[in-house]
């Protein structure tokens, strides 16, 4: 598509957008009586207008049914998670049996590593991306130490080449091949939180399995953002938070995926809890843990009803949108237009004030464009906020802008560029 840097063109794209109406289903934060242009869905998604209704329904159930709410009413809490599983499965490309909403992201990462990181004297290493989100770094380091290994020897980080901002898939695959039969686990992010790079998950999985390793992913920045086919890609396990692109609220419930090929593997360790016990026998209170079939067998504590209600509200928005395929088509256009607009700002300034570090190839990115501001980065970010444009700041000089297809518009992107140019001329 040939883009134009004017308001009428952006508005024409919005008029042609079949998902434009979904914008009205979300609340936008306000400043000085005006809504923000919200480009921070990669950190916290907006609140669906139906969220309060879902919360109030569960509060009424609690009020009217009390403990009987576990088995009575329109949405018995005992089985509430199963309604979510049907929708979650379509978001990540899995069967409902392979997914489960539970806990929070890093808790789930630890629980899954208990099962899938099984180091031996020869095969004990973990391969991950350099610069992964700190929670992943800390979780992996602590798991390695827990098993008695030195992170300096056991964790192999694959970093971009000198002078480059993103990883080459060939370098990831070469690192896996190089470590060979010493690898116990390949554990990557799906989309890198800093650059917005979407890794080639099928290729990484294939290479990890060829080396004899287990392969897992942290999908915090991928689930609800990019099209995933976790089952078909033969990924062993994954987990994600739901409060970014899936709009489940601050600290919202996490989700897990376990490939069905592992369901009958009794050699897998797990930290068990009552809610993961076989559902039909759970209330017999018997000794000896027998897991429920599927991903539900990794549950530890009982259903978190209120967080699940918020997640359910957002998952229904994905269903309304037609799930990921139409959202992805819009997302590719939004980020392509943002690339164009940022480059237009640089052209008007006569220099590359803003270096885009997100991959230019649309297949290698999701709904995020990260830019390095050459001059006065913090001042520019603050000025954007003062002008009702809310993105995300990352030290030392990166501004992350994420046009989310559920609620952002092409006009949002155009106005962001217009303000970015105005602010740059004033401050530089």
pLDDT in tens, 349-382: 999 999 999 999 999 999 999 999 999 999 999 9
Q: Cβ(416)–Cβ(345) under 8 Å?
A: no
This prediction has a pTM of 0.96
Reported confidence tier of residue 193, pLDDT bands at 50, 70, 90: very high
Q: Where are the domains of the chain?
A: 7-35+323-427, 54-320
Q: Cβ(310)–Cβ(54) under 8 Å?
A: yes
Q: What helix, strand, coil percent values describe the chain, rounded to 5?
A: 45, 15, 40
Tell me how far apart the 2 most distant CA atoms of the chain are, in Å. Answer: 73
Nearest to 317 by CA among 404, 217, 403, 232: 404
pLDDT in tens, 3-28: 999 999 999 999 999 999 999 999 99
CB environment 8-45: b (16+ within 10 A), e (fewer): eebeebeeebebbebbebbeeeeeeeeebbbbbbbbbb
In whole angstroms, what is the distance from residue 216 CA to residue 239 CA? 8
Nearest to 416 by CA among 333, 355, 335: 335
Q: Does residue 266 register a pLDDT over 90?
A: no
Structure tokens given for 251: 């600290």
End-to-end CA separation in angstroms for the chain: 32
In whole angstroms, what is the distance from residue 280 CA to residue 292 CA? 9
Percentage of residues of the chain with pLDDT beyond 70: 100
Look-up of token digits 């797990």:
270
Q: Supply φ then ψ for residue 195, to 5 degrees.
A: -95, -20
Structure tokens given for 314: 């957002």
Q: Supply φ then ψ for residue 312, to 5 degrees.
A: -60, -40
In whole angstroms, what is the distance from residue 349 CA to residue 355 CA? 13
How is domain 54-320 classified at the architecture level of CATH?
3-Layer(aba) Sandwich (3.40)
Is residue 265 classed as helix, strand or coil in its secondary structure?
Answer: coil
Nearest to 92 by CA among 258, 207, 300, 213: 258
User: Do strands 47-48 and 392-394 pair parallel, antiparallel, or not at all (unpaired)?
Assistant: unpaired
Q: Cα torsion at 73, 76, 82, 84 (round to 10°)?
A: 70
Q: Cβ(108)–Cβ(102) under 8 Å?
A: yes
In whole angstroms, what is the distance from residue 216 CA to residue 221 CA? 14
Is residue 241 classed as helix, strand or coil in its secondary structure?
Answer: coil
How is domain 7-35+323-427 classified at the architecture level of CATH?
Alpha-Beta Complex (3.90)
In whole angstroms, what is the distance from residue 41 CA to residue 368 CA? 9
- Beta strand ranges found along 115-192 (DSSP E): 125-129, 155-158, 183-189
Q: In whole numbers, what is the pLDDT of the chain averaged over residues?
A: 97
Reported confidence tier of residue 189, pLDDT bands at 50, 70, 90: very high
pLDDT in tens, 125-156: 999 999 999 999 999 999 999 999 999 999 99
pLDDT in tens, 54-105: 999 999 999 999 999 999 999 999 999 999 999 999 999 999 999 999 999 9
Nearest to 369 by CA among 396, 389, 347, 398: 398
CB atoms near residue 286 (< 10 Å): 11
The residue count of the chain comes to 428
pLDDT in tens, 275-297: 999 999 999 999 999 999 999 99
Q: Does residue 428 register a pLDDT over 90?
A: no
Q: What is the DSSP letter of 184?
A: E
């Amino acid at each position: 598509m040939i883009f134009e840097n004017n308001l009428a063109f952006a508005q024409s794209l919005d008029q042609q957008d079949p998902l434009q109406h979904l914008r009205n289903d979300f609340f936008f934060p306000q400043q000085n009586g005006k809504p923000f242009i919200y480009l921070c869905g990669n950190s916290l998604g907006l609140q669906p207008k139906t969220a309060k209704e879902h919360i109030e329904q569960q509060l009424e159930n609690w009020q009217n049914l009390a403990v009987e709410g576990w088995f009575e009413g329109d949405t018995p809490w005992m089985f509430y998670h199963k309604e979510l599983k049907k929708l979650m499965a379509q978001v990540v490309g899995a069967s409902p049996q392979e997914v489960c909403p539970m806990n929070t992201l890093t808790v789930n990462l630890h629980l899954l590593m208990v099962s899938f990181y099984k180091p031996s004297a020869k095969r004990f290493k973990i391969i991950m991306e350099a610069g992964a989100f700190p929670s992943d770094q800390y979780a992996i380091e602590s798991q390695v130490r827990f098993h008695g290994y030195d992170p300096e020897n056991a964790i192999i980080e694959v970093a971009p080449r000198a002078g480059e901002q993103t990883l080459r898939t060939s370098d990831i695959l070469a690192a896996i091949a190089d470590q060979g039969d010493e690898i116990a686990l390949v554990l990557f992010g799906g989309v890198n939180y800093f650059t917005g790079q979407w890794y080639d998950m099928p290729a990484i999985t294939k290479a990890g399995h060829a080396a004899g390793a287990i392969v897992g992913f942290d999908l915090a920045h991928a689930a609800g953002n990019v099209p995933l086919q976790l089952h078909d890609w033969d990924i062993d396990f994954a987990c994600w938070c739901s409060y970014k692109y899936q709009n489940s609220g601050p600290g919202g419930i996490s989700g897990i995926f376990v490939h069905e090929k592992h369901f009958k593997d009794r050699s897998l360790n797990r930290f068990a809890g009552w809610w993961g016990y076989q559902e039909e026998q759970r209330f017999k209170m018997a000794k000896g843990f027998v897991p429920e079939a599927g991903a539900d067998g990794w549950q530890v504590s009982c259903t978190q009803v209120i967080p699940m209600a918020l997640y359910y509200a957002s998952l229904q928005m994905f269903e309304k949108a037609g799930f990921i395929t139409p959202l992805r088509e819009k997302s590719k256009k939004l980020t392509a237009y943002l690339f164009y607009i940022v480059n237009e700002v640089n052209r008007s300034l006569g220099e590359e004030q803003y270096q885009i570090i997100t991959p230019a190839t649309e297949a290698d990115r999701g709904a995020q464009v990260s830019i390095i501001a050459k001059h006065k980065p913090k001042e520019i970010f603050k000025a954007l906020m003062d002008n009702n444009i809310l993105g995300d700041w990352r030290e030392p000089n990166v501004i992350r802008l994420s046009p989310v297809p559920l609620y952002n518009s092409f006009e949002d992107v155009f106005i962001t560029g217009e303000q970015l140019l105005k602010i740059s001329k004033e401050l530089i």
